Amino acid sequence: MRHHVTLSRALLVAGLWGCTTQSTPPVTLPSGASRLPVDNWLDVTATLAAGRTPVYDGDAPMVFTFLKDMRKGDALTLSTYALGAHSGTHIDAPMHFVKDGASIDKVDVAAFIGSARVIEIADSVQQINAAELNRHDWKGAERILFSTRSTARGWMDSSTFHRDFAYITEDAAQLLATAGVKLVGVDYISAEQFAAPAPRAHQILLGKGIPIVEGLDLHRTSAGDYDLIVLPLKVAGHEGAPARAIMRPVNTGISVTF
């Protein structure tokens, strides 16, 4: 319904413009091209907000400041925010754990746009190891996103940092890397076991040039295939950046909440 309201307002505005300005010719798409439909996209991004978004133990706090504020009588509203590169929904570039790895601005956006499969991991499972992975239909998927206990418990929408989030083990990371997946995603702020003796999942995936999207909010999705667009900020020379992520189911058998 909201789409219809927006559309009619857009048409109204376009109509008003049409009265007073020269009308623009319609855009002609090359044959075979299709417009990107605006329907059915789910926002799977965690909201960035102090006191709401979890921050990994020891990472920088998020600080949001209004320098000017129209609500307080200023002529405009102007703000700044300071936050860690791994805040909320974000992408780890190879540089995060590979010494000469690519920084986030150098990662090809092809990894961030395309088909993705959501794999649901039971609430009781904390270790996503090779055996757990192979209990699911993951082979052949280009991008794999794990929906875990973190989603079930709403942890990306709670400022409390939980250490017992589900994580990817070394053998599962190896399977995914060998299979040539283009992107791996998780629904909490790290894909690695908390206080792991070595960051093996990161080293294996990033070592193969496979970016990791962390901190997805998958509470409106269920297992199945989706189109995914997740685009990190293009920050030069840094190892990660916050991103906006949207998904839409590619078949009607998937139950989602709009």
Q: Compute the least distance from the CB of residue 129 to Zn ion, in Å.
A: 21
96 is catalytic: yes
Question: In 21-147, which ranges are continuous DSSP H helix?
Answer: 130-133
Nearest CA among 56, 50, 42, 43 for reference residue 240: 56
Phi-psi region of 205 (alpha: psi -120 to 50; beta: other; left: phi over 0): alpha
Euclidean distance between CA atoms 71 and 78, whole angstroms: 11
Find the largest Cα–Cα distance for the chain.
67
List residues binding Zn ion (CB under 5 A).
86, 92, 214
The residue type found at 212 is I
Nearer to Zn ion, 92 or 171 (CB): 92
* Least CB distance to Zn ion at residue 102 (A): 15
Contacts of 3 (CB under 8 A, 6+ apart): 38, 39
Alpha-helical (H) ranges within the chain are: 2-20, 130-133, 149-152, 170-179, 200-207
In the complex with Zn ion, the residue whose CB is nearer, 59 or 227, is 59
Local structure of 180: helix, strand or coil: coil
* Residue 216 CB, nearest approach to Zn ion (Å): 12
State the catalytic residue, choosing from 86, 96, 202, 219.
96
Closest among 111, 104, 89 to 44, alpha carbons compared: 89
For 100, other C-beta atoms within 10 Å of its C-beta total 6
Q: Report CA 206 to chain centroid distance, whole Å.
A: 17
Closest C-alpha to 231, from 242, 219, 215:
242
What is the smallest separation between the CB atom of 118 and Zn ion, expressed in angstroms? Answer: 20
Q: Exposed, middle or buried: residue 231 (CB in 10 Å: 0-12, 13-18, 19+)?
A: middle
Looking at the Cβ atoms of 86 and 200, the one nearer to Zn ion is 86
Please identify, using beta-carbon distances, which residue of 187 and 214 lies nearer to Zn ion.
214
Nearer to Zn ion (CB atom), residue 128 or residue 225 = 128
Q: How far is the CB of 56 from Zn ion (least distance, A)?
A: 8
Tokens of 51: 């006191």
- Is the CB of 189 or the CB of 249 nearer to Zn ion? 189
Residue number of the CB closest to Zn ion reads: 86
CB of 208 to Zn ion, least distance (A): 17
Active site residues: 96
